[in-house]
Structure 1
Amino acid sequence: MSTVVIQPTGVTPADVLAVARGTAKVVLDPAAIDAMVASRSVVDGIEASGQPVYGVSTGFGALANTFVAPQRRAELQHALIRSHAAGVGSAMPREVVRAMMLLRVRSLALGRSGVRPIVATALVDLLNNDVTPWVPEHGSLGASGDLAPLAHCALALLGEGWVLGAAGDRIPAGEALRRAGLTPIELAAKEGLALINGTDGMLGMLLLANHDATHLFTLADVTAALAIEAMLGSERPFRPELHTIRPHPGQAASAANIHRLLQDSAVMESHRDDVTHAVQDAYSMRCAPQVAGAARDTLDFARQVAGRELISVVDNPVVLPDGRVESTGNFHGAPLGFAADFLAVAAAEVGAIAERRVDRLLDVTRSRDLPAFLSPDAGVNSGLMIAQYTAAGIVAENRRLAAPASVDSLPTSGMQEDHVSMGWAATRKLRTVLDNLTSLLAVELLAAVRGLQLRAPLRPSPAGRAAIAALAGAAGDPGPDIFLAPVLETARTVVAGPELRAAIEREVGALA
């Protein structure tokens, strides 16, 4: 079991993944505790002075000019959490909530939020005892950060609200704290606001999505290469000299992957010197690295945005080292929303071009002598006909999801918050697009495997042999129609997991 140490300099994407999806424990570095103590002393001084400061001695949002008496400021913070925990809908996945909580600890540990260390420690205790607040899917507009989702997390610290049960149900937070041997905390001035102001939810989802997209974009090169091989395509368009003359780094990486995957294949050798072979392949084959490579470059941009956000102070107001407390707009999620929307567009197109290759594989007029719908007995049998329908439906859904959320601002809070980022919505739908991409690549994987099997006795590439082996238990050999849904589920598992890539890399070397 690994340990993630929260320092006053932020965390890494690997840290977030280790806590969100793994079993890593979380520890606060003493330097982070010192930073929180120093910033808290500033807030205590403000309280003693009686000066008006947003969120310390005033209301929130449109109520920012409403003065709150000293004796009611703790009540103010508790009321803030209760009123802002106003989400609705299905519960967000455990990994998203855990990422969000870790990132909120990170934010507090930067020493700019003016909270006592006990507040960050309470969140760490939830993580380390696997107590995951129940956070509904709807509620955040991504400006003032992810207010409602973070409020649902904070409510559990008070022993109120719900947490996720082992069966995916929800149980009272107070009961879950007692089971874990934890005690609810009492908030002091500024602390409720510090728990909910920031971009942690959308950042957590973007980090998880970046990790998933990194894997899927490489698997997209694999399934593209297998489909090209099965359709007797050419490897010539993927040679490196043709990509150095258009120096997009993602394109070069994708082309290099596909070129390497097409080597050592008797299927490819069978038509290398055939003068009757097509001079040029269709765009869905020949332009695979141009599309997948552009997606890789988009992913690099999203990684840069997430990396900068991981070292950012996104609270409001912030406690500066010189003792000033200043209002900011750093909670606004526009950078994350833009990145998520852009990456969703890219991922949708990676899936769309994969579906076009599936369609070619199934079409007897374009698949270069493969049987119709990849069935040896087409007519009585429909082969993969409806699997392509499924892929087409998913492509259509991804096109709808690729419409940007970040341009859809709606004013709130009596026009005080008159422009919002919709970053939570952008990152949520990005996760759906990537899940859909997994399904699309699964369909292409199955179709390519069927195509390569039907090229027997020609021996496929090492990647082709690994793919055939990965699906052998579920798909078997080409023959009469079988119940396809379980086969596609297996193909999804193969695409999502690390085993197929590892098996291929053992044969051909590391893929980019």
Structure 2
Amino acid sequence: MSPPLLLAPGAVPLAAWRDVYFGRAAALDPACRPAVERSAAVVDAIVAEGEPVYGINTGFGKLSTVRIAAGDLAALQRNIVLSHAAGVGAPLPAPVVRLVMALKVASLGQGASGLRWDTLALLDACLGRGLVPVIPSKGSVGASGDLAPLAHMTAALMGVGAFLIDGRAVEAGAALAAADLAPASLGPKEGLALLNGTQVSTALALAGLFEAERAFRAALVTGALATDAARGSDGPFDPRIHALRRHRGQTEVAAALRGLMAGSAIRDSHLVDDPRVQDPYCLRCQPQVMGACLDVLRGAAATLETEANGVSDNPLVFVDTGEVISGGNFHAEPVAFAADAIALAICEIGSVAERRVAMLVDPALSGLPAFLTPRPGLNSGFMIPQVTAAALVSENKQRAHPASVDSIPTSANQEDHVSMATHGARRLLGMARNAADVVGIELLAAAQGCDFHAPLRSSAPLERARALLRARVPALADDRHFAPDMAEAGALVSSGALAEAAGSNLLPSVEPAP
């Protein structure tokens, strides 16, 4: 088992957030404690002086002009948590909530939020001990922070609500007691510090990015395998073509496809005397389409890496001057734009993969038996899996409409422009699942197509990928129950196993340019 990741506030690389999402343990770097304590001391000084400062001794939002007496400050923080815990819908997946918690401790650990160390340490302890707050998935518009979902997280720290422990919901107070943790008793500004921020939007967008990355990398493998199944040309992947256009993603995708197909006996068999001049776009333009997707995903990754390492609380505490200044870092517009970009890329990954499936089942285009079955007519073969792929692609098209162009005023028009980042990011997991299932269908179809070329074999990387599939799903002779085969193939895509089998070293990642 890997040791826990130490989260150094403000300096966590994208790869570390990926590891947290996929299950690696994480803990806040205790070196940040002095900064956190200095920030809390500024809040203590403001309370002692009694001057009105938003979020410390005033109401919130439209009620910011209401002064709160010193004796009511603890109740103020408890009230904001309980009143804002107003989410609805199914709980967020546990991996996403773990990422929310990790993002939150890293943000608060930068010492700009006025939180006491003991309160931050409680959240960090819950993360480390596998106590995952139950957070309803709906209720944030992505500005003034992800208030409702983060309120549910914070309420659990206070012993209200529930934690997921090993997938089972446990009443929050009982879960804390079983872990030998005392419920939080929030001090001035602490409730607001825990509620304000873009951590839910960012976690959902990062989760979508990481799942999209797996679908993207698998689609390069299935796209290369489909090219061999259709006896397509690797000429369009020639590096000289892509050097002239200069797009980084396009160049890298072409190199990946060359590497995946290198040494294919199927390709060698039709290098000469092939009457065809050009392949369909779904084969020939893979570097251009998938390279553009890669560039878009990398741009989103750069935005999200920056956001994950920033502070999106309000107001912010500046220790050097003792000031607390209100601003708008909670507005998730950067995350909303990143989520919209990821949605477009996911949509296209599935779209071009479905076109290759449609090509393979059509004998006029592929030269293979109709619907990839040895006895078409008696058998329907891949007829309906292609229809399923088409349905999933169209569903993703409907979901890909930009969320960031929407806004609806909240809080009696005090918060009059919002980002809609949260639901813009939340849709990404479903879209990525759809894309993975489409790519899984392509894996089945491309492997079946290559079976018709026996005894010729594809390249070593593609044969490894095909062997991984064939260990779970035999070739299709006569029609059988197809859904289990599709589930197996989709799992190979979404788990990352297909890309690993072909060779991760051949496949680009979404890491931003250094």
TM-score of the superposed pair, with normalisation by structure 1: 0.96
Q: Which moved more, 1:408-417 or 1:427-436?
A: 427-436
Structure 2 counterpart of 1:510, which letter? Answer: L
The aligned residue for residue 103 of structure 1 is 103
Letter in 2 for 1:466: R
CA distance in 1, matches of 2:87, 2:124: 23
| Aligned AA (2:208) | A
Q: Does the C-alpha gap of structure 1 residues 101 and 252 become closer, same or farther in structure 2, counting only changes over 3 Å?
A: same
Alpha-carbon separation, structure 2, partners of 1:23 and 1:224: 31
Residue 455 of structure 1, aligned match among 449, 453, 463: 453
Inter-partner Cα distance in structure 1 for 2:7 and 2:246: 39
- Structure 1: how far apart are the matches of 2:500 and 2:87? 41
Match of residue 88 from structure 1: 88
Match of 1:404, as an amino acid? P
> Aligned partner of 1:15: which letter?
A
What secondary structure, in the 3-state scheme, does the structure 2 residue paired with 1:308 have? Answer: helix
2-structure distance, mates of 1:251, 1:505: 19
Q: Please say if 1:314 is aligned against 2:312.
A: yes
Partner of 1:474: 472
Please list the CA deviations of residues 134-161 of structure 1 after superposition, one character each: whole Å capped at 9, or x if unmatched: 0011011110111111110000111111
Aligned partners of 2:435, 2:163: CA distance in 1, in Å?
Answer: 31
Distance 1:10 1:157 in 2: 26
- Give the drift of 1:330: 0.6
Q: 1:119 to 1:82 in 2, by over 3 A?
A: same
Residue type matched to 1:22 in 2?
G
| 3-state SS of 2:163 partner | strand
Q: How big is the shift at 1:169?
A: 4.6
For structure 2, the 5+ residue unaligned runs are: 509-514
Counterpart AA for 2:25 = A
Identify the range of structure 1 (476-485 vs 455-464) with the bigger mean alpha-carbon deviation.
455-464
- Of 478, 498, 506 in structure 2, the residue corresponding to residue 510 of structure 1 is 506
Secondary structure of 2:170's partner? strand
2:147 corresponds in structure 1 to: 147
**CA–CA distance in structure 2, aligned partners of residues 187 and 284 of structure 1:** 57
Partner of 1:367: 366
Write the distance in 1 (CA, Å) between the matches of 2:292 and 2:161. 44
Q: Contact 1:10/1:107 (CA < 8 Å) preserved in 2?
A: no
Q: What is the CA-CA distance between 1:22 and the residue it aligns to?
A: 2.2
Count the aligned residue pairs.
506
- Give the letter for the 1:445 counterpart: L
Distance between the aligned counterparts of 1:248 and 1:203, measured in 2? Answer: 27
Q: Letter of the 2:293 partner, please give it.
A: A
Q: Is the 8 A contact 1:161 1:173 kept in 2?
A: yes
For each residue in 1:341-391, what CA deviation from the matched residue of structure 2 results, as whole angstroms up to 9, or x when unmatched?
0111011011101101100100121112x1000000011100011100110
Q: How many Å separate the matches in 2 of 1:271 and 1:17?
A: 42
Over residues 419-457 of structure 1, what are the superposed CA-to-partner deviations in whole Å (9 max), with x where a residue is unaligned?
A: 111111111112221111111110111000000001112
Tell me the residue number matched to 2:70: 70
Find the aligned partners of 2:336 and 2:437 in 1 and give their Cα distance.
24
1:377 matched residue in structure 2: 375
Q: Is the 8 A contact 1:6 1:109 kept in 2?
A: no
Whole-angstrom distance in 2 between the partners of 1:11 and 1:311: 6
The one-letter code matched in structure 2 to 1:359 is: A
TM-score, normalised by the number of residues in structure 2:
0.95
Work out whether residues 474 and 486 of structure 1, in 8 Å CA contact, stay in contact via their aligned partners in 2: no
Q: Map 1:401-416 onto structure 2 (within 5 A).
A: 401-416=399-414
Aligned residue for 1:297? 295
Q: What's the offset of the Cα at 1:212? A: 2.7
Counterparts of 1:65-464 in structure 2 under 5 Å? 65-166=65-166, 168-276=167-275, 278-320=276-318, 321-368=320-367, 370-464=368-462
1:13 aligned onto 2:19? no
Contact 1:28 1:121 survives alignment (8 Å)? no
- CA shift for structure 1 position 86: 0.4
Task: Confirm or deny: 8 A CA contact 1:314 1:330 kept in the other structure.
Answer: yes
Displacement, 1:275? 4.5
CA contact (8 A) 1:57 1:73 kept: yes
Q: C-alpha distance in 2, partners of 1:241/1:149?
A: 50
SS in 2 for 1:205: helix
Corresponding letter in the other structure for 2:42:
V
Deviation at 1:210, TM superposition (A): 2.5
Aligned position for 2:511? none
In structure 1, distance between residues paired with 2:169 and 2:51? 42
Provide closer, same or farther for how the CA distance between residues 36 and 464 of structure 1 changes in structure 2, counting only shifts above 3 A: closer
Structure 1 residue 307 displacement after superposition: 1.8
Write the deviation string for residues 185-205 of structure 1: whole angstroms up to 9, x where unpaired. Answer: 211110000001001111122
Structure 1 residues 329-338 or 456-465, which shifts more? Answer: 456-465
- Percent sequence identity is 43
Counterpart of 1:203 in structure 2: which amino acid?
T
Could you list the per-position Cα deviations for residues 382-418 of structure 1 after superposition, in whole angstroms to 9, with x for gaps in the alignment? 0011100110110011001111111111110000011
Match of 2:484 among 464, 483, 486: 486
AA aligned to 1:122 is L
| 1:207-258 deviation line (CA, Å, top 9, x unaligned) | 2333333332222111111111111111111100000010110001111111
The alpha carbon displacement at 1:477 in A equals: 2.5
Deviations 1:255-284 (A, max 9, x none): 1111222221221122211152x1111111
Q: 3-state SS of the aligned residue for 1:390?
A: helix
Whichever residue aligns with residue 291 of structure 2, its letter is G
Residues 1:20 and 1:496: Cα distance change in structure 2 (over 3 Å): closer
Whole-Å Cα distance in 1 between the matches of residues 170 and 242 of structure 2? 56
Q: Distance in 2 between matches of 1:349 and 1:27?
A: 37
User: 1:23 Cα deviation (Å)?
Assistant: 4.1
**Cα distance in 1 between the residues matched to 2:410 and 2:347:** 31
Q: Which has the higher contact order (CA 8 A, sep 6+)?
A: 2
Partner Cα separation in structure 1 for residue 108 and residue 228 of structure 2: 53
Unaligned residue ranges in structure 1 (runs of 5+): none
Amino acid in structure 2 at the alignment position of 1:53: V
Cα root mean square deviation, aligned: 1.5
Contact 2:28 2:105 in 1 (8 A): no
Alignment-mate amino acid for residue 21 of structure 1: F
**TM-fit CA distance, 1:468:** 2.4
For the 8 Å contact 2:259–2:506, the answer to whether it is kept is: no
